[in-house]
């Protein structure tokens, strides 16, 4: 079973891609909505939450955990790998493909404050930003919009425009989504961008990496496409409200969501 963890519903954008490449896999998803957003919080607190959730997922039988949260990856992935004997796959900053494919030489990154401070992001920035100008923008308030299910409309457009327009005006031709919540705002971002830039979502690459790791763990060869068959069971736990969680799961999975299980969870 694969565990998937995020501060809230954003990690569902990664679960969507995991489910696409491993449809028969069983998933257990934890939304730590009671403490969302993680971005402004102290890294030590984020590490505590990540450790607690990981212990819970392992107790449920997870043999791989995908940390589907950029902030939690930045703060906790090293500690998680040192503390548990199962593999962890985190969110990789998608600066590399953006920098390599940029024609204008300007790349925008929309992320949380916690992600920008993380060693993984800073290392990637140092490695791949030599030939491009990187514009960093903290997306304050965007996580909260997604958690409330406000993915489109005037309020979403105003806030997204506040962050994205300056990147476009500076010449950015690629905008990297550095938070797993942000792909749920893609329709609004595309409306603002209006074809002026490529939106880079790292979730598909992370899902493929998880597939490779899981295949290696089980002594299998990763398959480009799994044979048709029954979908794996999915269980969702939330430390906060699960209203938006349920809506987004149904949006992603359609009628299959009727067979999924939802539980409230309190992790000390």
Residues with a catalytic annotation lie at 69, 179
Cβ distance 202 to 181 under 8 Å? no
Nearest one of 202, 204, 165, 209 to 182, comparing CA atoms:
202
Question: What is the C-alpha to C-alpha distance for residues 187 and 71, in angstroms, rounded to an integer?
Answer: 23
Helix (H, G, I), strand (E, B) or coil at 179: coil
Alpha helices in 132-172 (DSSP H): 142-147, 154-169
CA distance 260 to 74: 30
Residue found by looking up tokens 């965007």 in the block: 142
Span between the terminal Cα atoms of the chain, in Å: 23
Residue 7 near residue 71, CB atoms below 8 Å: yes
What single DSSP character describes residue 264? E
The torsion of the CA quartet 37, 39, 45, 48, rounded to 10 degrees, works out to: 80
Exposure of 126 in the CB half-sphere (CA atoms within 13 A): 7
């Amino acid at each position: 079973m694969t565990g998937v963890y995020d501060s809230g519903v954003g990690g569902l954008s990664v679960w969507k891609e995991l489910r696409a490449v491993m449809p028969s896999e069983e998933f257990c998803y934890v939304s730590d909505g009671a403490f969302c957003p993680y971005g402004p919080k102290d890294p030590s607190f984020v590490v505590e939450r990540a450790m607690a959730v990981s212990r819970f997922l392992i107790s449920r039988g997870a043999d791989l955990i995908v940390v589907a949260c950029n902030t939690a990856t930045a703060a906790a992935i090293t500690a998680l790998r040192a503390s548990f004997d199962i593999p962890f796959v985190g969110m990789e900053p998608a600066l590399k493909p953006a920098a390599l494919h940029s024609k204008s030489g300007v790349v925008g990154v929309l992320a949380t404050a916690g992600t920008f401070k993380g060693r993984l992001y800073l290392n990637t920035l140092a490695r791949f930003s030599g030939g491009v100008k990187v514009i960093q923008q903290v997306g304050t308030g965007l996580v909260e919009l997604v958690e409330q299910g406000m993915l489109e409309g005037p309020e979403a457009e105003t806030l997204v425009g506040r962050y994205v327009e300056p990147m476009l005006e500076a010449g950015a031709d690629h905008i990297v989504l550095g938070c797993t919540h942000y792909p749920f705002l893609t329709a609004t971002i595309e409306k603002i961008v209006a074809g002026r830039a490529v939106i880079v979502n790292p979730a598909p690459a992370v899902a493929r990496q998880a597939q490779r790791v899981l295949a290696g763990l089980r002594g299998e060869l990763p398959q480009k496409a799994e044979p048709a068959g029954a979908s794996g069971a999915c269980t969702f736990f939330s430390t906060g409200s699960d209203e938006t969680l349920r809506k987004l799961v149904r949006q992603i999975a359609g009628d299959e969501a009727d067979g999924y299980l939802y539980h409230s969870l309190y992790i000390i």
